[in-house]
Structure 1
Amino acid sequence: MRFGLFYVLECPDHDFRRAYREMLAQIGYAERLGFDEVWLAEHHGSDYGSMPSPQVAAAAVAERTSRMRIGIAVSNLTFDWPVRVAEDYAMVDVLSGGRLDFGAGRGYQPGEFRNMGVGDRQDVSRAVFTEALEIIRGLWSKPVGERFSYHGEHFHIDAVDCRPAPVQKPTPPIYVASISPQTFELAQRDNLLITPTLMTLPELNRLVVGFKRDLITGGRDPLSLDFPMNWQIHLAETEGQALADVAGPLSWYYRNVLDLVPHGPRVPRTYERYAELVAASEEAGGLTLEGLRESGVVYAGDPAGLIAEIENLYQETGLQHLICWMRFGGLAHEKVLRSMELFAEHVMPRFRDRPPVVPRALRAEAAAIS
């Protein structure tokens, strides 16, 4: 099983120098602790995230690490010209010696679309995303000097070359992000980044098992794709200490995210799920730490409890790749470091050598057929 860290880099106090410094220190420490990778998220124009250019952060990470893979979770392809995105991340792959994992998404916060001058794109974001990803894949797949052209509804390029070319061939690993059930439909041949942040863990589990069942039905090996799960996790020596640590940061985080997702009288097409979540939260009187824990959106507790949760995910969904979102809501640096230490000491050794498995329900179905 592989383990990583994830950063949106929320910065409630607007001390960005401190936030970047802490993130880079945590990543360097994570490599020494044995974490396999780090994932960096792109966001614009709000306190929710302070990393508008993950490619810049990734280059800094590449210089401070030697072994960890550097994932992007994600590059929002609706915000930029895809040729430039391909060039920037090819450069990251070169600078890191071939350690890039490229995650792509279509964005979901209306304020970000307006901030980046593409407010009219959100209604057609699926189509824009699909075309942009095909262009990036095409540019990376061509040998240097061989030109690439593409003509779609939203992008037209003629005889373009990508310099530099990525180190990894035919391309760096590509991941598609899903934080809503509808986005699962976008992932047909790429790895799938999943998170229970805006859906319950049981719901996410059902979607993953169903997607893997569809792969089998289509004649594909469900183990041929990677399904890393990004999960908000905080560990402390006791459950009580963990809950005390995260109460403020989680409250801050979810107040912000529910304000930023699509909701209200004008919801862009294909984003209705977000408005439903906001309405359900308001009807329930707001999100609570107890509710987030009960729904599996967040794990805050001691290492023994997390081990039991991961064991269940391993059996039920075939979890083989866990990304730990440990620095959320401006959680104090020393608390994040301690959570990382407890995870590396107690959790990693229990799962590091587990072989890949098909979800329990699919194993049972296969046994019944045979």
Structure 2
Amino acid sequence: MRFGVFYVLECPDHDFSRAYREMLAQIGYAEHLGFDEVWLAEHHGSEYGSMPSPQVAAAAVAQRTERMRIGIAVSNLTFDWPVRVAEDYAMVDVLSGGRLDFGVGRGYQPGEFRNMGVGDRQAVSREVFEEALEIVRGLWSRRPGEPFFFHGRHFHIDGVSCHPMPVQRPTPPVYVASISPETFDLVATLGCNLLVTPTLMTLPELNRLVVDIKRRLIAGGRDPLSLDFPMNWQIHLAETTGEAVRDAAGPLSWYYRNVLDLVPSGPDVPRTYERYAELAAASEEAGGLTLDGLRESGVVYVGDPAGLATEIDALHQETGLQHLICWMRFGGLAHDKVLRSMELFAEHVMPLFRDRPPVVPRALRDEVAPVW
């Protein structure tokens, strides 16, 4: 099983210099503790996150680490020119010696589309996203210097080549973030893997979703043991549950107040974003803004290491989880608390699962037994 850390890099006090220093220090410490990877998120123009260019952060991380893979969760392909995206992340792959994991999405916050000058794209973001991803993958998979051509509804590329080319061939691994069935179909077509999170749904709902998607992919010919769905989970550990709750209550409250204000909602939800509005409304109706509600529904794990180990064991059996991303710095949580949570995870949780082999989800074992 693989383990990572994740950063949106919320900065409630606007001391961005401190936030960046702490993030880089935490990433270096995570590598020292044995975490396998770090994932960086792109956001624009709000309190929610302060990493508008994860490619810049990834280049800095590449020079401060030696072993960890550097994941992007995600690059919002609807906000930029896809040739530039391909070039920037190819450079990250080169600088890191081939350690890039490229996570992509189409964005979901209406304010971000407006901030980036592409407000009219949100209604057609799925189309823009699919074309942009095809262009990035196409540029990366060519021979060095070989021109690439593409003509779609939103982008036209005539004889462009990517300089530099990624180290990893044919391309760095591609992960797609999604909560919508339409994107699941795209994932099945492209042979990618999914990035998933319970942030806007309960953990049991996410588990059912993951099992259903894996069922569809297996039916389409995918090897059931190759399906890698990294799960990004907000986690805070302390020696006791009471201490963990005291640490996390304020930062989590701040985070969820912000995210629910930014999710598409109301009568004018852009087309294809209805699922986001439904999940946000359900979260509020279920009392999801309280720490008790978040913990009971499994949206977050706040507690001691032994309880987390029990939860991970259940996820491994129920969904085939083999890749957990730990979102430990959320809502401006104090630096020392984040470091201690990482230490407890590395000491008491990681060793229990490091050598666990991949498994087929429990609900699918009878279904796939004849073919694996």
TM-score (norm 1): 0.97
Cα displacement (A) at 1:276: 1.9
Distance 2:138 2:193 in 1: 17
Q: CA 1:121/1:240 → structure 2, altered by over 3 Å: closer, same or farther?
A: same
* Residues 118-127 or 176-185, more deviating: 176-185
Cα displacement (A) at 1:265: 2.0
SS at match of 1:172: coil
Q: Which residue of 2 aligns with 1:19?
A: 19
- 2:37 and 2:70 in contact (8 A); partners too: yes
Distance 2:355 2:47 in 1: 39
Q: Which residue of 1 aligns with 2:218?
A: 216
Q: Which residue of 2 aligns with 1:8?
A: 8
- 1:179 and 1:196 in contact (8 A); partners too: no
SS at match of 2:277: helix
Cα displacement (A) at 1:203: 1.0
Q: CA 1:262/1:58 → structure 2, altered by over 3 Å: closer, same or farther?
A: same
Question: Which consecutive residues of structure 1, in runs of 5 or more, have no partner in the other structure?
Answer: none
Q: CA 1:180/1:251 → structure 2, altered by over 3 Å: closer, same or farther?
A: farther
- 1:191 and 1:227 in contact (8 A); partners too: yes
TM-score (norm 2): 0.97
Matched ranges for 1:28-67 at <5 A:
28-67=28-67
Q: Which residue of 2 aligns with 1:300?
A: 302
- 1:182 and 1:270 in contact (8 A); partners too: no
SS at match of 1:166: coil
Q: Give the counterpart of 2:231 among 215, 225, 229.
A: 229
- C-alpha deviations, 1:339-366, integer Å up to 9, x for none? 0000000000000000011001111334
SS at match of 1:331: coil
- Code of the aligned partner of 2:96: S
- Code of the aligned partner of 2:217: L
- Code of the aligned partner of 1:314: H
Q: Which residue of 1 aligns with 2:274?
A: 272
Distance 1:9 1:367 in 2: 43
Q: Which residue of 1 aligns with 2:342?
A: 340
- Code of the aligned partner of 1:152: G
Q: Give the counterpart of 1:322 among 300, 321, 324.
A: 324
Cα displacement (A) at 1:322: 0.3
- 1:77 and 1:132 in contact (8 A); partners too: yes
Cα displacement (A) at 1:282: 4.5
- Code of the aligned partner of 2:224: P
Q: Indicate yes or no: 2:199 matched with 1:197.
A: yes
- Code of the aligned partner of 2:10: E
Distance 1:316 1:172 in 2: 29
Cα displacement (A) at 1:16: 0.1
Distance 1:242 1:353 in 2: 28
Distance 2:169 2:369 in 1: 37
Distance 2:262 2:84 in 1: 27
- C-alpha deviations, 1:219-263, integer Å up to 9, x for none? 221222321100000000000000111100000000000000101
- 1:251 and 1:289 in contact (8 A); partners too: yes
- 1:108 and 1:261 in contact (8 A); partners too: yes
SS at match of 1:187: helix
Distance 1:30 1:9 in 2: 16
SS at match of 1:192: strand
Distance 1:352 1:96 in 2: 24
Cα displacement (A) at 1:281: 4.3
- Code of the aligned partner of 2:358: P
SS at match of 1:365: helix
Aligned length: 370
Cα displacement (A) at 1:295: 1.1
- 1:180 and 1:198 in contact (8 A); partners too: no
